[in-house]
Structure 1
Amino acid sequence: MEKVKNSYDVVIIGGGINGSSIAYQLSKMGKRVVVIEKNHLACEASSAAAGMLAAQAEIEQDGPFFQLALKSQAMFPALSNELFDLTGIDIEFIQKGMIKIAETVEMAAEVHQQAAFQRKWDPEIEWLDSHSLRELEPSLSPSVAGGMYLPNDGHVQPEKLSLAFAKGAEQFGATILENTEARSFIYEQDRVIGVRTTLGNIHCNQVVLATGAWASRLMHETGMDMTVYPVKGECFSVKTESPIINRTIFSDKRCYLVPKRNGEIYIGATQVENTFDKNVTPGAIASLVERAVQLVPQIKDAPWERVWAGIRPQTGDGLPYIGEHPLWKGLFIAAGHYRNGILLSPVTGTLVADLLEGRPDENLLSAFRIDRNKEMVH
């Protein structure tokens, strides 16, 4: 068995995008950090996501979650440059805008209202009728009723972002242990003081649990049932030599098309609750193809590239858990980001790092407390 160093300031369980972001921020502060990942970095939801940064298309009312999303979205331009300068990894941050489509006249009234609301935060957001939309994106179906144009929206390549966080953390001294599973916590009085792993015990001052849809198992051990459950999302992509679309297309019918730098268009996603099964089904892809072709008819003749699925972590009330465990000092959780894990990864990293340093942003964190509506096991 490989000998592992057994003492750190912080153990982070989970090598997905949020675990890696937290590791990056803590390592920048000079903390001795180890990331424990049971498989390999970014192997689950972090590499399956489309990478949209759609704070204002997906979240339709003001509140703590919306403000968290806006804050995180604003971090990407500087973060992209920072990570590239440090690691040489281009996270492919592309800021060409997004169109939220209304496919029916009924939906048009609702999306028109959303555009008016969102202009409070970005005055460049506007409602466009069908004709104006097709001037912007000629490949859109003439049947669409209109849409909200968000010119400052963007997307990233999520696996590259996750790996850039991890590599940046390593360059600040962090240790990454892949193929290493956290079995249980080590307790002393009212504190968590370490983690039992498949490579042996690791002692530390603080532990962060960032295992996405798998967070409930270890949380149950601590005397708290935290409602984080899996939602499978199936996707496919096509790849063309010349672009069919230039901007992200997001439909009110929960279909999105994201044009990537390599010529692929990512198209997703299904929502299948309470399964960790990542098999892709023909029926699911057929429904996505049908929806995508209704939006952009040229998709029908585009060269097929691939299919995949990821497991997203949803919570009972739709909000992530970010905070300290109410029963055990030194144990912190960052999980349950569902469809917004990529978008929220920068702010999750800074919030958790500041929290561990004793500088919590109470205004932002209060809505995401671990005990906000949970029942204790014991």
Structure 2
Amino acid sequence: MLQTVIIGGGVMGLSIARQLNAQGRHIHIIDRSTPRMNASYAAGGMLGAQNEFFEDTPLYRLAMASRAMMPDIAQQLLMETDIDIELQTYGLIKVATTAQHVPAVKKQFEFLSQQDHKIYELSRHQLRARFPHCNIDDCAAFKIHDDGQINANLYTQALLQSVSNLLHIDLHIQTEVLQIMEHASHYRVTTSKGDVYADELIIAAGAWSGALLQQLGMNLPTQPVKGDVKLIESSYSQLKETIFNMNGCYIVPKKPNRFLIGATSELDNWSTQNKAENLQWLDAESQSMIPDLCEHRVIKTWTGIRPITPDGVPIMGALRDNLYISTGHYRNGILLSPIVGQLMAQLVDGRTSAAQQLKPFSPIK
């Protein structure tokens, strides 16, 4: 029986495991963290397939296809685990609240509105109603109807429970990978709890993926990006859409009467501690957009470490026979997980169509 080892128990590793063919294969998922403590649980849960893109690229098309898969994934996970991942489809408002960001919003609207005629610019009256503190002459926004959101915490829990229910999958949690060694026909993964042998090795460890591959003499250009996030409770009830400011601050309405506010971005920062000034920035920017959020109760604050590549394009594919990588998804890990899980699983299973679809993201150029 094939022994398949996946290093990384976030949404990427779990999605790949869930989609892999169980015939003749035993899967081991190794994760250094306790469940609910990795970056996937910390995400905003936005399905921003249109929010993030300014031009037609292979990644844009992949994101659009993945967003379309999420309703079915949500229904499957509900049936498998009885966990509702709280898919919401109220749309997203992309906004610039300073003059310097208005041209970028205009440029993005021009591209997206050619692809999707339901997208529309907010009028001056709509801007004033939605963003009362904004100088209308230095503000611009448009509404995306189909960019929704899920509860990332519940989504990761559901994926974890789904794979835990499968007899051919073993979970190794709170397990540190200490060394990876290549042998003639397999890999030996030495962990804090013993050795695991892999006929197939898939590295999906987020920002830590590059360091793991260095043990095999490979260098991938990935970097960590620390983000501060907070969850608040407020009686404000006039917001259903996600709001995403061009300056990086976003407000994601959650159930019940809660708002997830993020996120700062600090390159090459591995810290898991919130910085007071970063949380203050989140308060200032979110309340500048929605003044009624001044009255709120902080439920919790946290950080997430997101993997990014120099050009912002994820790295996904085969590095050599029976060695695979999936990393660098930055802010789009939740969004991309359905289709990446499917394509990476198909790639490992030998499907040439998946290899072709993942070619633009291959680690081998």
With the shorter chain as reference, the TM-score category is over 0.9
AA aligned to 1:183 is: L
Cα offset for 1:242? 4.5
Deviations 1:232-278 (A, max 9, x none): 10012220235242110011111100000122111111111112111
Q: In structure 2, how many angstroms separate the alpha carbons of the residues matched to 1:265 and 1:17?
A: 22
SS in structure 1 at match of 2:66: helix
Cα offset for 1:98? 0.5
Verify the 8 A CA contact 1:116 1:126 in the aligned structure 2.
Answer: no
AA aligned to 1:364 is: Q
Instruction: Give matches, 1:2-151, under 5 Å.
Output: 9-26=3-20, 31-104=25-98, 107-133=101-127, 138=130, 141-144=133-136, 145-151=139-145
SS in structure 2 at match of 1:58: coil
Match of 2:177 among 179, 182, 197: 182
More divergent stretch after superposition (213-222 vs 99-108): 99-108
Cα offset for 1:170? 2.5
Cα offset for 1:198? 2.3
Structure 1 residues without counterparts, runs of 5 or longer? 1-6, 373-378
Q: In structure 1, how many angstroms separate the alpha carbons of the residues matched to 2:262 and 2:18?
A: 29
Q: In structure 2, how many angstroms separate the alpha carbons of the residues matched to 1:341 and 1:50?
A: 10
Verify the 8 A CA contact 1:15 1:42 in the aligned structure 2.
Answer: no
Q: 1:119 to 1:28 in 2, by over 3 A?
A: farther
More divergent stretch after superposition (350-359 vs 34-43): 34-43
Deviations 1:282-307 (A, max 9, x none): 11111221111221111222233322
The residue aligned with 1:215 is 209
Q: Does 1:319 align with 2:327?
A: no
Instruction: Give matches, 1:158-307, under 5 Å.
Output: 158-173=152-167, 174-189=169-184, 191-307=185-301
Q: How many residues align?
A: 361
Q: In structure 2, how many angstroms separate the alpha carbons of the residues matched to 1:309 and 1:203?
A: 33
Q: 1:218 to 1:257 in 2, by over 3 A?
A: same
SS in structure 2 at match of 1:165: helix
Match of 2:338 among 321, 330, 346: 346
Deviations 1:61-95 (A, max 9, x none): 11111111111111111111011111111111111
Q: In structure 2, how many angstroms separate the alpha carbons of the residues matched to 1:175 and 1:343?
A: 25
Q: 1:130 to 1:42 in 2, by over 3 A?
A: farther
The residue aligned with 2:349 is 357
SS in structure 2 at match of 1:371: coil
How high is the TM-score relative to the length of structure 2?
A: 0.92
Verify the 8 A CA contact 2:93 2:143 in the aligned structure 1.
Answer: yes
Q: In structure 2, how many angstroms separate the alpha carbons of the residues matched to 1:180 and 1:50?
A: 26
Percentage identity across aligned positions? Answer: 32
Q: 1:11 to 1:291 in 2, by over 3 A?
A: same
More divergent stretch after superposition (339-348 vs 158-167): 158-167
AA aligned to 1:258 is: V
Q: Does 1:309 align with 2:270?
A: no
Q: In structure 1, how many angstroms separate the alpha carbons of the residues matched to 2:90 and 2:240?
A: 7
SS in structure 1 at match of 2:316: strand
Q: In structure 2, how many angstroms separate the alpha carbons of the residues matched to 1:110 and 1:227?
A: 27
Cα offset for 1:347? 1.1
Q: In structure 2, how many angstroms separate the alpha carbons of the residues matched to 1:320 and 1:113?
A: 24
The residue aligned with 1:371 is 364
More divergent stretch after superposition (174-183 vs 118-127): 118-127
Cα offset for 1:363? 3.9
Q: 1:42 to 1:305 in 2, by over 3 A?
A: closer
AA aligned to 2:175 is: T
AA aligned to 1:339 is: R
